[in-house]
Structure 1
Amino acid sequence: MLVLASCSVPATEQTEGTAQVPRGRGLPSDHVHGIAFNPADDKVYLATHDGLFRYDDTGPARVGPVIDLMGFTAAGPDHFYSSGHPGAGVDMANPVGLIESTDAGETWSTLSREGQTDFHSLTASEVGVAGFDGAAVLSTPDGQAWTTLEPPVATFALAASPDGTTLLVTSQSGPARSTDGGDTWDVVPEAPLLQLAYFSDDQTVVGVAPDGIVFLSTDAGATWDQRGTVEQAPQALAARAQRNGQLEILVVIEGALLRSVDNGFTFAD
């Protein structure tokens, strides 16, 4: 039986190019909690136990203060949300609650739930942010007021469509799906067991199973087709459309950042 491995992540805007990730550079930290494309500079950002890193031409470069960034998601150009724990010398509560950066991670400000919540998974959409703190799934339209959502499974990770209409949660029981922003939920019949999922647009979702098999949905998570494999449990996942219409998919596994540019059929570092 497949078992979900302990890590998480989650939504960014769709862009047209192929992000700059130097080949064979490895990872800047032993564990990666999140990955995102930044439309502002067309670069890839990794949220890790050792802070945020940006992939430049010569490899990963640290950005901003050292915060153990747990849940992490990009909401738009230079606009990130995260959670986690402050590093040495960082003047924030522990846990930091929901924090926001509007300068691509150079600085962070606390929005709410400081000293209270460590979101393990975050996802952003046009209508707000949803997060899972290990116990409950919560959503907020403004980073301040929170509503508890009630998916019918024990949540592991979250994903939201860019318009915020569709939410997916992964679980050991299989994914559950809401098509009304989290008001009502259904377990997806005959869906694969997914560890992580990610919307590249309102209908296209990439999912990765605990054993590394990659799946693609073109109907917002209602049905799934099997693609290739990354051969290990995923730590983080992101996807976006390229100019040629194919998906660019990034998957972090232990020790490597893998990329597919053919809709998930093949991956390379």
Structure 2
Amino acid sequence: MKYIVFFIGLTVVLLFFFSSCSDSNSDHENKTEPGIQHESMKAKTVGIDFAGHDFFQPVSNSISHIHGIGYPNNQEALFIATHHGLKVYSNGIWYETKEHNHDYMGFQATSEGFYSSGHPEEGSTLLNPLGLLKSEDFGKTIEKVSFYGESDFHHMSASYYTPSIYVVNTVPNSKLGTGLYYSLDGGEVWMQSELEGLPQASAHSLATHPRLAKIVGISTPEGLFLSHNNGNTFSLISEERSIGTFFIKDESILYVTADGEESLLEQSLESDDTKQIPLPTLSEGDSILYLAVNPLHEQEISFGTVAGDVWRTEDYGDSWSNILEKGNVP
């Protein structure tokens, strides 16, 4: 199976991508840039009309290079971050942003919007890389949080209802060395996780509890490891098998097995009890890359695949719809 893989240790982190990234050195600056806003925005939450929104239009081309998936702003629409900006699926229609179509990496939806990193779109005057960004209005304006012009975080995790963020830093910047770091205040102050109990092996994915920010997990070829103290100590909570992407809910974890034929399992946070959630039949050689659950309707699960498919269920796996087929709108 194909997964974005990173190697994570106490002092060394090596990261492999499906696409290359570039880095430049610059101190964090509070200068006004096109599409960047430094003051927090108040975003609408439920019932967004994307058909009539001045920042969105129906998708005009195929969608490629999915870099993240989620439900930002505590509302029903599904967002995917791509190499060419944000795309949104709402009421059976795919939309795209009219501008600020940056290469969003490490996309993380929250109740107030989203965090992301990545690289500016072609022709932009923004510094490359973008550092840690935040938006509360679906990307129409974005706020520099930290490391603007310094870092590109391909592996990030954000607590949905708290201002806590985790990042895997692969290249030292002005504040961080290499390793897993976390912030409890939205990216102002950063601390390094000790990672005790985590095997010195490749890792597939990183995720955080939506309300209890001290709970963070890392999936590996040796299983799913969970920490209850901000990543300082980890313990194995799954069977000893390869685990791919996963999603932490209030009381359970959904995770994808990556050893042979994929399966989607749900496991309680309080025990090792698991149940299997039915999956659709994927194309030969395809595999699940990103996973998300609708915060307003937990029967709705969506996932994106390596081949560029997006699947969605509204009944917890009893039936699935292929809402994006190899990057093409059905």
Normalising by the smaller structure, the TM-score range is: 0.7 to 0.9
Q: Where does 1:1-269 land on structure 2 (aligned, <5 Å)?
A: 4-5=3-4, 28-39=62-73, 41-57=75-91, 58-62=93-97, 64-77=99-112, 79-125=113-159, 126-134=162-170, 136-142=179-185, 143-151=187-195, 152-153=198-199, 154-163=202-211, 164-190=213-239, 192-199=241-248, 201-210=249-258, 211-219=261-269, 222-230=272-280, 231=282, 232-240=286-294, 247-253=299-305, 254-269=307-322
| Runs of 4+ off more than 6 Å | none
- Pairwise CA RMSD: 3.0
Partner AA of 2:262 in structure 1: G
Deviation at 1:218, TM superposition (A): 2.5
Using the size of structure 1 for normalisation, the TM-score is 0.80
Deviation at 1:16, TM superposition (A): 10
Query: Relative to structure 1, is the Cα distance of residues 107 and 222 closer, same or farther in structure 2, using a 3 angstrom cutoff?
Result: farther
1:76-125 Cα shifts (integer Å, max 9, x gaps): 14x11001111123233222111111111112122112233211122211
Deviation at 1:28, TM superposition (A): 4.6
Deviation at 1:41, TM superposition (A): 4.6
- C-alpha distance in 1, partners of 2:274/2:192? 28
1:164-208 Cα shifts (integer Å, max 9, x gaps): 132111122222110223232113351542211112x32122112
Aligned residues: 252
Partner AA of 1:59 in structure 2: W
Partner AA of 2:309 in structure 1: A
- C-alpha distance in 2, partners of 1:65/1:132? 25
- C-alpha distance in 2, partners of 1:233/1:218? 24
Deviation at 1:42, TM superposition (A): 2.3
Query: Relative to structure 1, is the Cα distance of residues 97 and 155 closer, same or farther in structure 2, using a 3 angstrom cutoff?
Result: farther
Q: Is contact 1:68–1:84 with CA below 8 Å preserved after alignment?
A: yes
Partner AA of 1:150 in structure 2: E
Q: Is contact 1:66–1:90 with CA below 8 Å preserved after alignment?
A: no
Q: Which consecutive unaligned segments of at least 5 residues does structure 1 have?
A: 9-14
Q: Is contact 1:214–1:264 with CA below 8 Å preserved after alignment?
A: no
Q: Is contact 1:4–1:172 with CA below 8 Å preserved after alignment?
A: no
Using the size of structure 2 for normalisation, the TM-score is 0.67
Counterpart secondary structure, 2:300? strand
Counterpart secondary structure, 2:243? coil
| Structure with the bigger percentage of strand | 1
Partner AA of 2:315 in structure 1: D
